Amino acid sequence: MRGSRRVPAAIVAGALAVAGTVAAVVVVRVGGDAVDEKGLAEFYEQPPDAADGAAGTLVRHEGLVGTPAESKAWRIMYRSTDLRGAPIVVTGIVVTPLGPPPVGGRTVLAWGHPTTGAAPECAPSRGFDPFIGIEGLRLLLDRGYTVVATDYAGMGTTGPDSYLVGVTAAHTMLDAVRAARSIPEAEAGTSVVLWGHSQGGQAALFTAEQAGTHAPELSVKAVAVAAPAADLPALMRTHLDDISGVTIGSYAFTAYAGVYGGTTPGARLEDILTPTALGVAPTMNGLCLLTGIDELHRIGRPLVGDFTRADPTTTQPWKGLLEQNSAGGAAFAAPLFVAQGENDELVVPTDTDGFVAHERGIGVDVTYEKVPDATHATIAYLALPRLMEWLDRIGH
């Protein structure tokens, strides 16, 4: 072809070598994931004494084969407590980079995942690739963090439903760090960074608020959240009459009825959901968000406008429960990074603006990054360059 230029053979050979290496890594990773699938159901079955022991201690753990490059990882089952201090059993994963750790151990990054559902099968650690949803994992491993990711209570293994129950989520994140520290090869120290997206943002914020009382031996150095579900009344007001409100509500109201219904008058599921919604809520709660979104929407769309018996943001006890599980009830000393997509239609920018103003008003050191064109689905990934710069700048 006239005007074409030859690419030097060395460059071609180098490119082919890189491509071959990447392909080999992918094949090994997928093959390892397939190995890790064997015996999966058995791992999540709790032994009779599973809950017997201190919060943060391991029930069991097993090494994983299909790990990210230059890392080692484990699936874990560990003990924690719910918001009232009752013992619960939780699952998750731990992953740490290869190479020598710093003196005192690696900083542990505790990841709070966004909504994947509420049923045990929706737990990220039960997925074929349990690492794929940890936003920024490669960058975090390259910076030397040990990363621990809880499934939250009620997911992975049997336990109480904890969807958007802030204190329980905080306990499970903190006790996951403790569990990671009991695996010597994880090389985990006592310094902790929290990072969460959406539901996980709420969990990370509550974890920062609860750390001093629940796990005083740990030192939270930094907190980062992307589009956090921080203000639950605002979130529900935004979506009272759309399919997102039906989906979130089917998870949240079921969880709240299970957690608070026995002790709080008016907090039974039949007190807030219409008869039609009551009939389909169990089916919706059995569907995982990522794999069952089409079915969730098929079931939920006819309920738009006929889902709740009253406005939960103005009707007690639901108004109080939403407020109780909103972040911002207490200040914390660690600096806070908040990322918000300007095109987010789920956690809308004005709600996050209000939360950031509240945090600054109670003395939290907040760095607020708005990302143009980012949606709720993309904000955590698109914020990673700024998040990594921030972590590097503050020294964590």
DSSP codes joined into one string, 144-191: T-EEEEE--TTSSSS----TT-HHHHHHHHHHHHHHHHTSGGG-EEEE
Give the count of beta carbons closer than 10 Å to the beta carbon of residue 87: 15
Above 90 in pLDDT, residue 351?
yes
Above 50 in pLDDT, residue 144?
yes
**pTM score of the predicted model:** 0.90
pLDDT in tens, 275-330: 999 999 999 999 999 899 999 999 999 999 999 999 999 999 999 999 999 999 99
Alpha-carbon distances of 149 from 61, 92, 132, 177, 316, rounded to whole Å: 14, 5, 12, 9, 34
Bridge partners for 340 per DSSP: 370
Distance CA 321, CA 48 (A): 33
**Sequence-ordered strand ranges (E) for 289-355:** 336-341
DSSP three-state, residue 273:
strand
What's the pLDDT at 32? 52
Above 60 in pLDDT, residue 12?
no
Amino acid identity of 166?
Answer: G
What's the pLDDT at 26? 47
| Average pLDDT for the chain | 92
Distance CA 384, CA 139 (A): 9
Average pLDDT over residues 179-190: 98
pLDDT confidence of 384, banded at 50, 70, 90?
very high
Distance CA 317, CA 311 (A): 11
Above 50 in pLDDT, residue 9?
no
Alpha-carbon distances of 112 from 104, 115, 194, rounded to whole Å: 24, 10, 8
pLDDT confidence of 141, banded at 50, 70, 90?
very high
pLDDT in tens, 194-234: 999 999 999 999 999 999 999 999 999 999 999 999 999 99
What's the pLDDT at 31? 56
Contacts of 189 (CB under 8 A, 6+ apart): 101, 102, 104, 105, 106, 107, 108, 181
- % of the chain at pLDDT higher than 90: 89
pLDDT in tens, 29-67: 455 555 656 669 999 999 999 999 999 999 999 999 999
DSSP codes joined into one string, 178-236: HHHHTSGGG-EEEEEEEEEETHHHHHHHHHHHHHHHH-TTSEEEEEEEES----HHHHH
| Residue in 248, 246, 261, 244 with CA at minimum distance from that of residue 318 | 261
Bridge partners for 60 per DSSP: 77
What tokens were used for 112? 């709070």
What's the pLDDT at 36? 56
Residues 190, 217: contact at Cβ < 8 Å? yes
What's the pLDDT at 395? 85
| Residue in 365, 358, 372, 364 with CA at minimum distance from that of residue 390 | 365
pLDDT confidence of 15, banded at 50, 70, 90?
very low
pLDDT confidence of 128, banded at 50, 70, 90?
very high
